[in-house]
Structure 1
């Protein structure tokens, strides 16, 4: 079956890819594209390795990368790991500094991460206010931001990704993934096929249930 073949190919990426950044981004896209159920073991092992490594060396290897550090923080918290903002997001303490990132994608990921804040985490509360204001200004002023990035910004401002019903957002994320500069064609085709198969199953179940009404 083609779906199983593509699943195996994507699983190989987890083994072949040694860099942390591409793997973190891969995990994020797998979840957004509705494929997490096919890669639960790989995702759990990868996040566990990141967390354990950070505990052993008292530092996360992605701290110097704004986009990836916020993404890493969000994924770990979503999966139940007890990480603190200072563990990964040390650069957030300078969010009001003029030298802070002016990349819309970075600020969008920052906003997504801040929605996972806990009571008393002032640094995340401040970062959320900063991100919302920055992104609203960027959209209103139509700064030099590509259309597909503006779509992501508006999407994030409307509602955090982890508050949404994941399945209803898959088609939107597939469209976004197609705009990615270095997107993986196998992952893209797998997401489309998986969506069609799952959608067909759901429609069949609804049809069968309607018979009993």
Structure 2
């Protein structure tokens, strides 16, 4: 880049400064496009608040130590709106942690999904619960039982739970290797396209290392196709991530929306490269 010297005269001194021959920015007027962002009206704000209250009631009303509560928390977190319900989630998981051993004992011995989901949610929250609960799914040789491959949802949950292992947890190391191997073998035989997509995504993108925004978008598509799981309140609530800029100062709105666009472009490029 060429530099030239520009001389500026003042009443008292002559100041010489270097003048950069800068190229036009690659961004152009990109960020200026968002100078006039729409402002949410009172009706929209009230609707958002009503939705939040409805979800909050669902969390509070569900039994604290139930699988229903775990599914609610999992859905809220994976849809990327957990920051609205941090206190309720913490209270539910804290209660689950104090009753963990009791709850594990009451769960159907064959319900791998329930145990693995509970374990993962607690580990995610920072509770170092014991992994001994998974020993009931191993045979006399200490290997995971072959019949578990018939429970794809349970295998997926075990795969995700095993990613929250700590040093020295051999059974979870084995669980991770077992689920990776078996899910890869199962994948070509699956006839449910939605389940196929879930397994494929789980193998490619570890849940522990996933970027929230990317994982949220993937989960929304799974969630909307699962009619038993889907709740329209959560379909609507996911829009708050995009609308979050409405609470920011004007100058931050420009940056925020610009960054979302940049993120979208990067996501497209990464997706094309698998």
TM-score above 0.5: yes
Question: 2:61 is matched with which residue: 1, 16, 22?
Answer: 16
**Which residue pairs with 1:102 in the alignment?**
150
Q: Which structure has the larger Rg over C-alpha atoms?
A: 2
**Cα distance change on mapping 1:100 and 1:166 into 2, 3 Å:** same
For 1:101 and 1:11, the matched residues in 2 are separated by: 36
Alignment of 1:49-128 (within 5 A): 49-54=95-100, 57=102, 59=104, 61-62=106-107, 64=109, 65-86=111-132, 88-94=133-139, 96-128=144-176
Instruction: Please list the CA deviations of residues 175-201 of structure 1 after superposition, one character each: whole Å capped at 9, or x if unmatched.
Output: 11101232111112111x213313776
Task: Using the TM superposition, give the Cα deviation of residue 101 of structure 1 relative to its aligned residue in structure 2, in angstroms.
Answer: 4.8
Task: Report the TM-score, using the length of structure 1 for normalisation.
Answer: 0.85
1:1-213 maps to which residues of 2 (within 5 A)?
1-18=46-63, 20-54=66-100, 57=102, 59=104, 61-62=106-107, 64=109, 65-86=111-132, 88-94=133-139, 96-139=144-187, 142-182=188-228, 183-191=230-238, 193-198=239-244, 204-206=254-256
CA distance in 2, matches of 1:208, 1:152: 30
Larger RCO, structure (CA 8 Å, separation 6 or more): 1
Q: Which runs of 5+ in 2 are unaligned?
A: 1-45, 260-274
Bigger fraction of residues in strand: 2
Q: 1:40 to 1:133 in 2, by over 3 A?
A: same
- Structure 1: runs of 5+ lacking an equivalent: none
Count of residues paired in the alignment: 204
State TM-score, norm by structure 2.
0.68
Alpha carbons 1:71, 1:109 under 8 Å: kept: yes
Asked if 1 retains the 8 angstrom alpha-carbon contact of 2:120 and 2:164, the reply is: yes
Q: Deviations over 1:122-177 (max 9, x none)?
A: 111111111011110111xx224411111111111112112011123212111111
Task: Assess if the C-alpha contact under 8 Å between 2:162 and 2:176 holds in 1.
Answer: yes
Structure 1 residue 90, shift from structure 2 partner: 3.4
The Cα RMSD (Å) is: 2.4
